[in-house]
Structure 1
Amino acid sequence: MKHYDYIFAGSGLSSLMTAYKMAISGKFANKDILLLDYNAKQENDRTWCFWQKDNSIWDTIIYRRWDTARFANETRSTDLDFGGYQYKMIRGIDFYNFVFAELRKHSNIEFINQKVIDYKDAGTNVLVETATESYTCNRLFNSIYNRELPASQNKYPILQQHFIGWHVKTNAPVFDPAKPTFMDFSIPQKGNTRFMYVLPFAEDEAIVEYTLFSKDLLPVEEYEQAIEEYLKNLSTSGYSVIAEEKGSIPMTSYPFWENNTKNILNIGSAGGWTKASTGYTFRNADKKSDELITYLLKEKDFTGLYKRNRFWFYDLLLLDILSVKNLMGGTIFSAMFRSGKAAPVFKFLDEETSFAEELKVIWQCPKALFIKALFKRITNL
């Protein structure tokens, strides 16, 4: 049974980010590191988008970037002022190739294409079992999401950001390649938070995505019909579907970190790294992986890494509202972006604001909804 210093159970975004940063830091060169995943990460299976002002280590693989975006609801359409931010897109295959190209330079880092089926903190080490072999390690990073954990309680609501997106080529020029559609709530809400999301690459090419923030997924046909209707209203004169992507991202303030042990750390969606109020993952995971690298160089007990903060509570209040009145998402986000100035909202959602700045954003939202949710939540913490 081979032993490693660190094992990653699952090699999704957060695992690969962390392993990459461990590699380029030069501070883990004497540590044996193993990544385990049933998926070889050789396909373009997803896209990630995020807003950012500064440059980052990922800039060389940015596929598209935009300086503004459109926000719409049933009464108006607004071009957002990003105030120096850019909206950036990274394709999954470009990210995988970039990270693995670096990892292959480090003989102490190994990737094995196996599915993890179990793991256990034995105190002095961690036992990891795959479908075919067993391994031990000093410390385990688990990114395999366990839906049963948040589902086993009712203190923290659970929504999903679920979607189907079509990469389409249209017969007529209908898109503005300089302006994605961030959220379009003008479509029928049907009692939920539903919006269209458009990432344009050319006047006749874009990813068009039908997205919901709700508890339950829909039949595939309902997503597809919504996309078809949206494209019809754009007067595309016909189109072809180049590729399709779909997903379901957990949105919950459930404290995943409470399941960490001394030697096992849950990361990614399995560790609550997804931004609970929006489902955005890339930027949050980038920051969390930086924090993790710093922690690894100083501490050894994973149980002391995370804790609640006021942003966790803000997210919780929004999810409390949407879990009871799911159709209010469009109203809330429309209020946040009413002025068209997106920079204060982006800064708030990135958890980089002062308390005074946060109050300005929160004050734009429907006050009665949040006051009611606040009083109800205070009695339930």
Structure 2
Amino acid sequence: MIQYDYIFAGVGLASLMVLHEMMEADVLKNKRILLLEPDAKNQNDRTWCFWEKGVGEWDAVVAKEWSSGFFINNEKEIECFGEGMKYKMIESSLFYKKVLSELNKCSEVVWKNERMKGYSESESVVTVTTDSEIYSADFLFNSVLDFNQLKDNKRCPLLLQHFQGWFVKTDVPCFDANRAAFMDFSVPQNGNTRFMYVLPVSDKEALIEYTLFSAELLQEKEYENAIIAYLNQKGIAEYTITRKEKGIIPMTAYQFWKKNSKRVLNIGSAGGWTKASTGYTFKNSVKQSKKVVAYLKKGVNDFTHFYKPNRFSFYDALFVTVLFRQNDLGYSLFSGMFSKVKPETVFKFLDEETSLIEDMEVIVSCPKFPFLKAFLNKAFGF
């Protein structure tokens, strides 16, 4: 049996981002790497978006960017992307192609089309079992999320960001290619937190995505009917659906880091890299991947204390608790933030880069009693 230095279970955004940072820092030199992933990762299977000022390190694989982006509710439209801020979209196929082409230059990287079934850890090695073989390594980077551990956890409520999106094409111009709607709350809420997400790639093409933050999924037809109704509301009756995407992203304050051990680091959604209050993953994956490499370069060979919760972890826990208990509060919560606080500060807060004073500015814009109740529950068990 070959002893690998690193095994990556699941080859998605997090694993490829960590591998990219390892290559950039020359950490993979003379290392034997095993990638376990049943899919070829040659399809455009998802879309990642994020906000950023100016030029970014991933601009080479950005498929489209918008310098104008709006928060919309029933009363107003709020421009959010001023002062050089841009909203950027990366299609996964371009990202996969870039990083996998880099990996092809590393002769010590082995890809097995296998799925990890489980692993065990001893003082000196990690043993990984797949659907057909058993492998061993010094360290395991695990991005395989076990949803059951989230569902069965009583202390941390689980919200789901679930969505279905249609890439539509029209014969006549129907969209403003320079204007994105990253949250359009003008759709019926029906007791939940629901919004449309509109990303025009040209004046005749756009991604229209129906998104919910809620504990329960909808029937397939409900997502489709909502998109049809929204397009009709915008006067768009004739269109072709060129592609569909759908997904489920966990939104939870579950303490993923407690599953890390000396030789196992959970990454991606399995490691809590998805922002609990928004579901955004890409920028956080960049930050955490750089942290992984810095950790390795220091010669630290124990991942037990890789992650430490901070005040933003606590804010996210309050957010998820509030929306889990009163799922219809999303409209007023986000409307309050974007109406009463400069959007730049809101985005800075969501990026976990605000000062305590700025934190308070965002927090007081939210419905106060539900958050106070959640705070007392978290702090004192009331």
Q: TM-score range by the shorter chain?
A: over 0.9
- Correspondence list, 1:303-322, <5 A: 303-322=304-323
Q: Which moved more, 1:368-377 or 1:282-291?
A: 368-377
1:105-135 alpha-carbon deviations (Å, 9 max, x no partner) = 1112222221111111122101111112211
- Correspondence list, 1:34-45, <5 A: 34-45=34-45
Equivalent residue of 2:218, what SS?
coil
Verify the 8 A CA contact 2:256 2:271 in the aligned structure 1: yes
Q: Which amino acid aligns with 1:78?
A: I
Partner of 1:331: 332
Equivalent residue of 2:150, what SS?
helix
Partner of 2:166: 166
Does residue 342 of structure 2 align to residue 350 of structure 1?
no
Q: Which amino acid aligns with 1:153?
A: N
* Counterpart Cα distance in 2 of 1:215 and 1:168: 28
CA displacement at 1:269 relative to structure 2: 0.3
Partner of 1:246: 246
Verify the 8 A CA contact 1:161 1:250 in the aligned structure 2: yes
Partner of 2:89: 89
* Counterpart Cα distance in 2 of 1:297 and 1:254: 28
Verify the 8 A CA contact 1:7 1:35 in the aligned structure 2: yes
* Counterpart Cα distance in 2 of 1:27 and 1:55: 26
Q: Which moved more, 1:278-287 or 1:25-34?
A: 25-34
Gaps of 5+ in 1: none
Does residue 27 of structure 2 align to residue 27 of structure 1?
yes
* Counterpart Cα distance in 1 of 2:25 and 2:153: 39
Q: Which amino acid aligns with 2:253?
A: S
Q: Which amino acid aligns with 1:17?
A: M
Gaps of 5+ in 2: none
Partner of 1:3: 3
* Counterpart Cα distance in 2 of 1:262 and 1:140: 10
Partner of 2:266: 266
CA displacement at 1:231 relative to structure 2: 0.6
1:218-257 alpha-carbon deviations (Å, 9 max, x no partner) = 1110000000100111112411100000000000010011
- Correspondence list, 1:130-141, <5 A: 130-141=130-141
Verify the 8 A CA contact 1:8 1:34 in the aligned structure 2: yes
Verify the 8 A CA contact 1:9 1:140 in the aligned structure 2: yes
- Correspondence list, 1:158-197, <5 A: 158-197=158-197
Partner of 1:208: 208
Q: Which amino acid aligns with 1:350?
A: D
Percent identity (aligned): 48
Does residue 59 of structure 2 align to residue 59 of structure 1?
yes
Q: Which amino acid aligns with 1:267?
A: I
What TM-score, normalized by structure 2, do the two folds share? 0.97
Query: Matched residue pairs, number?
Result: 381
Equivalent residue of 1:337, what SS?
helix
* Counterpart Cα distance in 1 of 2:136 and 2:83: 49
CA displacement at 1:171 relative to structure 2: 3.3
CA displacement at 1:339 relative to structure 2: 4.8
1:22-56 alpha-carbon deviations (Å, 9 max, x no partner) = 11211320211111101110100000000112533
Q: Which amino acid aligns with 2:321?
A: D
